[in-house]
Amino acid sequence: MMISPNAGRLVGYARVSTVGQDLAYQLQRLAEAGCVTVFEERRSGKNADDRPRLRKLLKSLRPGDVMLATASDRVARDPVDLVNILQAVKDAGAGLRLLDEPFIDTTSEMSDLIAFLVGWAARWHRRRILENTAQGRERAMRRGVRFGRKPKLTVTDQETIRERKRQGESIHDIARAFEVSESTISRTLGAPHGDPAGLLM
């Protein structure tokens, strides 16, 4: 459903990443657009959950309101976050308009297309992350990097355990000294030297 830009309040959102950056341009654009209330934030845009002023703005929205910002990267750096923010705005019965990116305007007749495109971008972003992670893991494995839980005991630990057992120390006392179970010590004594098999946490 298209939302009339005159049906409710114009609520602005301005964000910079650090205290030293300037909000002047964003505040001027939002004032010129008619915003009376502007929520200012000086925090990274990586995660919407880490931005209390944004959360407060979203909670304040009422049906017919329009949230204004200058550009998409002021609202969210991550397409997935942008989808979630758009959904929160929609659930409030409000709209979102970006002044420097007029193609993002959920109060227009193109709102359904905008939601589709933003959702597609978020899915593409997630897929790329998964692909990059898988490729990085494959490259690491080819270099000999081993994944999984690290052994409780190093090779040096194993040699020390064997020596202490040869000196007559009990498995119980050795296990207490290394803060592992007695079964771990038993597996160590039964495994070939330098073989951590069976010693995983």
The catalytic site residues sit at 17
Interatomic CA distance for residues 102 and 96, integer angstroms: 10
Contacts of 95 (CB under 8 A, 6+ apart): 3, 5, 65, 66, 67, 89, 105, 106, 107, 111
C-alpha distances out from residue 9 to 38, 63, 145, 182, Å: 11, 9, 56, 69
* CB atoms closer than 10 angstroms to residue 54: 24
Reading phi first (left if > 0) and then psi (alpha if -120 to 50, else beta), residue 154 is in beta
Contacts of 68 (CB under 8 A, 6+ apart): 10, 11, 12, 13, 30, 33, 35, 96, 97, 98, 99
